[in-house]
Structure 1
Amino acid sequence: MSTTDAGIPAITLTEAELDRYVTHGPTRGLLSGSGLPAGTDLLTFSPLRTHGLRTLADATDGPFRVADELRNRLVIGELLNPAGMRRESILLDGGTGELTTAYLFAPAEPRPFAPSLATLLRFAAVTEELAGLRGRFASLAGQYGPRTAAEATRRLLSLFEEDAGGEVPPYWKAAALIRPLVLVAGPGTASGLTLAVPARVLDQEFGHGRVTRFEEVDFPTTLTHEPTRCFLRETGLPEEAVLFHADTDVPLPTLREYFTEEYAGDYPLDELPAHADHLIRLGHLAEDNSLVVDGRTGAVLTFSGPEATLYPLNTDVSTLAFTLWLLHHERTIDEHLAHELTTAAYDQLAAAMLHTLSAVDPTGRAPGTDWHYWTDLFQDEAGGAL
């Protein structure tokens, strides 16, 4: 095996290394010729550099029963899932060149991934073009909104279908349907917030009359962050979204006012955060989680009453609105496609959702963040959030 560090790092195998495992001609030619990049934004072939070619039976090394038809598949890489998610391995059929994915702790359920290594590399490359708005997506640079996102999905899905003979595997279908949604809202340079979320985007998604917009008299004096005040006045938040309910009984209370009034002495106020007067309650999530905004900085957090713990949630109200839009919109995607993803590849859909959210709001993967509501929610298949 050899690797090169000039340009794109490549992993190549010698004919002798391939002889025991790979008989498929085009696959042998690629692996012994141009080779594989050590990694892309979506996946890595570094297990090849670490372990060389090895069968699934060798990789699991006995603790799991591997079906006979899977024993000789080769473990050549891993999907780069968001932090905290288990990595799914990429398996190669040395006889046909086809690729599947499976978890090494559950190798009896491989899922289709790509008809060949060459196709897989093209899939990864074009998805990276989307992320960088270059190549076939360069014309979309600087454009934002639902129509732009829909056009990006159309282009990406068309490229996948062309390369896969119309049968796009679930992982790539999730990539085509979800990843372009980062284009719904542009940067909020002028607003002082992370994103510029037009009010019409929320109105179109949740329905006219179902988005709450506040007036100055609704804000407590401790809400001094002007970009937040402006967003809540002009753009607003949905009254109800997936597991979120806005506080429509105005004026908005501080966290201390809320617990004082709603619990009437039944909650120990000394367990509230020291700056509870600067935390303004915008609504609640499931399981007694108050959703609050820090009136001084605009940061959005959750406060768990039973645990008396404050957790980061979103960078600001603009990324909160985008998250609620993303969760709601995922449920409105074509029912057949959504059903296929949520039943056959829920974890891959969750990974695509987390990649999309973290592309505009890195709160969930910020250093020192040991728990994040949205990250936990997206991965909860039993809870049915997606």
Structure 2
Amino acid sequence: MSTTDTGTRTITDTEAATGTETTTGTEKITGTETASGTETTTGTETITLTEGALGPYVTHTPTRRWLTGPGLPADSGLLTFEVLRTDGLRTVADHTGDPARLPVDLREQLVIGALRDPVAAETESVLLDGATGEVSTTCFLHDRPDLMERRPFAPSLQTLAGFMTATEEMSARSGRFASYEGRFGPKAVTGMSRRLLTEFEAGVDGEVPPFWKMAALIRPLALVAGPPEDSALTLDLPARLLDQEFGQGRVVRYEDVDFPVALAHEPTRRFLRETGLPEDGFLFQLDTDVPLPTLTEYYEDERPDVLTADQLPDGADHLIRLGHLVEDNSLVVDGATGAILDWSEPEATLHALNTDVSTLAFTLWLLHRERTIDESLSHELTAGAYDQLATTMTQTLSAVDPTGSTPLGEWHYWTEMFQDEAAGVL
């Protein structure tokens, strides 16, 4: 392999052949134009298109300027525009096997990117109207392209870039949101949510598209609890947070007599004594009639005809059942480590559910808070963009508890429940 000496670093023939334009710091190296007509700036991870690549696809002058100038990020936690680098500009019709069955307003829309979920899987495709500069999203239904439809996303690429930057600054508590660094609790959530929504409204004259309204109303909820001083658990929930959300008398706090000897993890015992859990968390109900049983005791006393001891998971004597989830699932805590697990009775399998009891409480609070917000907006969040809300909820939970960021294809109870539109979970 030969190399080309630039004086400051070396470029291989392979790099030069890709035709990417790379900027790292102040150094700039330019190769030939790629087949897709894109140039990549890796220092800021942006993709720009050449005038030739825009061709007849993009006639909207401000949009042409943006694509050849500032460009779009190759990737972020929310969206990816990698398709521009790999395929260049292609229409929705180009991406379907039967374009004649597509709705007319979709055929000439340009596929420029995709939304992403917490495990980096692409969900909806991001579309650009080359004549107006408007940005929308769609779900590709290759078996039924006639059912595909567009959802509003941003009036322009410039506005979209502003939405993304504001959301990233909010998540990182940087830039316009730097004053929120180290701040947690309901007041921080309310202030950040209002600030982000105001930023969005300024870019669209008050008509914020659903995805970004969800981002402003839901994603800041991750700031309601900060890390505890002793780091024994993941979160330090504000005092009375659960009581205020679920109502007085609906949060159960345990006494030592309720704990089996197997529950040796003291931080979990302390949390259950002092903070407690909601008795009815919609998808989860506590067992409050008897002291907390181990999984072995539960099947011996309550369901002796269902599963035998040899059908229970290893260490069942050290798994304490807190209550039941829907569809014959039990919520259990590992008495030694405090890890929260989902025991599926039909499948006889254990799955990770939450890191610990503090993130379990946050999850139940998050679900209840989202439903309250949606009801206050006359179900605006869940009307017509449910899958976007499910992704936003999963991203919010993952920001607090990485247990929700399961590898692609691996089952996770909360993620599955969020996505269950038919059951109306959210």
- TM interval, shorter chain, is over 0.9
> Which of the numbers 110, 115, 118 marks the counterpart of 1:79?
115
Give the drift of 1:181: 0.3
C-alpha spacing 1:354/1:295, structure 2 compared with 1 (3 Å) = same
How far apart, CA to CA, are the structure 2 residues paired with 1:191 and 1:182? 18
Give the drift of 1:241: 1.0
Aligned-pair Cα RMSD in Å? 1.7
How far apart, CA to CA, are the structure 1 residues paired with 2:335 and 2:124? 41
Q: Are residue 281 (structure 1) and residue 321 (structure 2) matched?
A: yes
Give the drift of 1:210: 0.7
Q: Secondary structure at the match of 1:186?
A: coil
Q: Are residue 65 (structure 1) and residue 101 (structure 2) matched?
A: yes
Contact 1:3 1:9 in 2 (8 A): no
| Mapping 1:121-136, distance limit 5 Å | 121-136=161-176
Q: Secondary structure at the match of 2:321?
A: strand
Give the drift of 1:40: 2.0
Contact 2:110 2:128 in 1 (8 A): yes
- Partner of residue 292, structure 2: 252
- Partner of residue 383, structure 1: 423
- Partner of residue 7, structure 1: 43
| Mapping 1:302-321, distance limit 5 Å | 302-321=342-361
Structure 1: segments with no counterpart, 5+ residues: none
Contact 1:199 1:236 in 2 (8 A): no
How far apart, CA to CA, are the structure 2 residues paired with 1:84 and 1:41? 8
Give the drift of 1:267: 2.8
Give the drift of 1:61: 3.4
| Mapping 1:93-172, distance limit 5 Å | 93-105=129-141, 106=145, 108-172=148-212
Amino acid at match of 1:52: G
Give the drift of 1:334: 5.0
Give the drift of 1:368: 9.0
Larger RCO: Structure 1 or Structure 2 (Cα < 8 Å, ≥ 6 residues apart)?
Answer: 1
How far apart, CA to CA, are the structure 1 residues paired with 2:139 and 2:227? 37
Q: Secondary structure at the match of 2:126?
A: strand
- Partner of residue 267, structure 2: 227
- Partner of residue 38, structure 1: 74
Contact 2:38 2:84 in 1 (8 A): no
C-alpha spacing 1:191/1:213, structure 2 compared with 1 (3 Å) = farther
| Mapping 1:172-191, distance limit 5 Å | 172-191=212-231
- Partner of residue 28, structure 2: none
Greater shift in the superposed pair: 261-270 or 203-212: 261-270
- Partner of residue 330, structure 1: 370
C-alpha spacing 1:125/1:278, structure 2 compared with 1 (3 Å) = same
Contact 1:75 1:90 in 2 (8 A): yes
Give the drift of 1:3: 2.4
How far apart, CA to CA, are the structure 1 residues paired with 2:200 and 2:318? 49
Q: In terms of Rg, which structure is larger?
A: 2
Give the drift of 1:249: 2.1
TM-score of the two chains, using structure 1 as the length reference = 0.96
- Partner of residue 237, structure 1: 277
Q: Secondary structure at the match of 2:272?
A: helix
Amino acid at match of 1:108: M
- Partner of residue 83, structure 2: 47
C-alpha spacing 1:45/1:369, structure 2 compared with 1 (3 Å) = closer
More helix by share: 1
C-alpha spacing 1:257/1:184, structure 2 compared with 1 (3 Å) = same
Contact 2:374 2:380 in 1 (8 A): no
Aligned length: 386
Give the ranges of 4+ consecutive aligned residues of structure 1 lying more than 6 Å apart after TM superposition: none
How far apart, CA to CA, are the structure 2 residues paired with 1:227 and 1:314? 15
Amino acid at match of 1:15: E
Give the drift of 1:346: 0.2
C-alpha spacing 1:145/1:299, structure 2 compared with 1 (3 Å) = same
Structure 2: segments with no counterpart, 5+ residues: 1-36
Greater shift in the superposed pair: 315-324 or 367-376: 367-376
C-alpha spacing 1:366/1:93, structure 2 compared with 1 (3 Å) = closer
Amino acid at match of 1:176: A
C-alpha spacing 1:236/1:76, structure 2 compared with 1 (3 Å) = same
- Partner of residue 384, structure 2: 344
Amino acid at match of 1:3: E
Q: Secondary structure at the match of 2:291?
A: coil
- Partner of residue 412, structure 2: 372
TM-score of the two chains, using structure 2 as the length reference = 0.87
Query: What percentage of aligned pairs have identical amino acids?
Result: 62
Amino acid at match of 2:222: V
C-alpha spacing 1:368/1:155, structure 2 compared with 1 (3 Å) = closer
